[in-house]
Amino acid sequence: MQCKICGNSDNNTVYEATELMLGIRDKHNYIQCSACHCLQIVDIPENLPSYYPDDDYYSYDKIQSVTGIKKFLINKRDLYAATGSCFLGKVIHQFMPHSKIHTLQKTGITKDSRILDVGCGAGHLLHSLQEAGFTNLLGIDPFNADDIQYDNGLKIEKKSIHEMQTGDWDLIMFHHSFEHVADQTETLTKASELLTSGGTCLVRVPTASSWAWQHYGVNWVQLDAPRHLFLHSIESMTLLAEKVGLTMADVVYDSFAFQFWGSEQYKKDIPLNDERSYAVNPENSPFYKDDIADFDKRSIELNKKNQGDQAAFYLKKSA
């Protein structure tokens, strides 16, 4: 079977993975390319949308409003997390970090930067940025039921990136949405076209260049068959970026304890939404607080060694 990223068809390894987020337990074949090491599904299910139930999938959780002094402090923290400016926000971030927004700091954005979030669901991250004072934000997601207009001015449009007509975005983000995209090359090509000269495409995804994939194999929780269609390696993401005119500027690993407790559950045949799952009922799960603390510590160590199971890829467009 041929790799959809680099075209190699020699000595690719086939794996059979079980759906275990919802507990359907049907089987799906994946291959890992022997050349670029990208891990990818062989056949995308025709009923793929049925694996994303609206009432369960985390991307569409409602955004909770915050008011008063708590809102003020959170906004200062998020401003620092995204831009590196605001001393008060820096202090708050030390005690109450926002790791997802913090990944934006390396892109060099300001409150005036034009930012597009692709596959953003309800737009949680953009909503936080809008509250922190950012003024040129747009979220898009073709799987939302309708457009979303928030009271703070943020708009989330029901559309795909291929429907975007205008460019000059300073930052285009895929926060754990790119692994769900079937047309990888076409989507990243469009992102490159929409970027301004010197702009950044930030792709945060689970990665096959990780200890968790090597150790857990098909029980790796972030394989997430069949929702995750492509799980890139460093090599395959670098190759894909170069094919569309982008350069790999940096890679930052940002995995956390989920890679351990989720995968250990899958080894025990415990689905993610099961009553025995740590995600649903921690007290009824196989793990104690000390286990989770150990998983957190080990995740930090893996990230430092560039072996965590997810990473932020910073892809730059030439100035």
**3-state DSSP of 9-60:** CCCCEEEEEECCCCCCCCEEEEEECCCCCCEEECCCCCCHHHHCCCCCCHHH
Distance of CA 235 to the CA centre of its chain: 18
Please give the pLDDT value at position 58. 46
Angle, CA 252 vertex, CA 7 and CA 108 arms, to 5°: 110
pLDDT confidence bin for 97, thresholds 50/70/90: confident
Distance of CA 252 to the CA centre of its chain: 13
The answer to whether 34 touches 11, Cβ cutoff 8 Å, is yes
Write the pLDDT tens digit of every residue in 155-209.
999 999 999 987 799 999 999 999 999 999 999 999 999 999 999 999 999 999 9
User: Could you tell me the pTM of the whole model?
Assistant: 0.93
Place of tokens 């020699």: 10
- CA gap 172, 198 in Å, rounded: 12
Write the pLDDT tens digit of every residue in 227-268.
999 999 999 999 999 999 999 999 999 999 999 999 999 999
Helix, strand, coil proportions of the chain in percent (round to 5)? 35, 20, 45
Structural domains of the chain ordered from first start: 60-205+236-317 (3.40.50.150)
Neighbours of 231 (CB within 10 A): 27
Tell me the backbone φ, ψ of residue 142, rounded to 5 degrees.
Answer: -70, -15
Tell me the backbone φ, ψ of residue 53, rounded to 5 degrees.
Answer: -65, 130
Give the residue with greater pLDDT, 79 vs 178: 178
Tell me the backbone φ, ψ of residue 110, rounded to 5 degrees.
Answer: -125, 180
Examine the pLDDT at 56 and tell me if it is beyond 50.
no
Give the residue with greater pLDDT, 97 vs 271: 271
* Mean predicted lDDT score pLDDT of the chain: 93
Please give the pLDDT value at position 153. 92
pLDDT confidence bin for 99, thresholds 50/70/90: confident
Helical axes 68-83 vs 87-95, angle rounded to 10°: 100
Q: Which helix (H) or strand (E) holds 251?
A: strand 246-253
Give the residue with greater pLDDT, 214 vs 94: 214
Q: Which amino acid is at 223?
A: L
Q: Which residues contact 222 (CB under 8 A, 6 or more apart)?
A: 206, 212, 228, 231, 258, 259, 262, 309, 310
Please give the pLDDT value at position 95. 83
Give the residue with greater pLDDT, 264 vs 60: 264
Q: Which residues contact 280 (CB under 8 A, 6 or more apart)?
A: 272, 273, 274
- CA gap 27, 44 in Å, rounded: 12
- CA gap 91, 83 in Å, rounded: 14
Place of tokens 């970027």: 195
Highest-confidence range of 59-63, 98-102, 288-292, by mean pLDDT?
288-292
The answer to whether 212 touches 263, Cβ cutoff 8 Å, is yes
Which of these ranges, 54-58, 88-92, 142-146, has the smallest mean pLDDT? 54-58
E-state strands within 55-97: none
- CA gap 49, 46 in Å, rounded: 8
3-state DSSP call for residue 162?
helix
* The two three-digit tokens of residue 203, written as one number: 């792709």
- CA gap 221, 223 in Å, rounded: 6
**In the beta sheet, which residues pair with residue 155?**
149
* The two three-digit tokens of residue 109, written as one number: 């954005």
pLDDT confidence bin for 62, thresholds 50/70/90: low
Q: What is the largest CA-CA distance in the chain?
A: 60
Please give the pLDDT value at position 59. 53
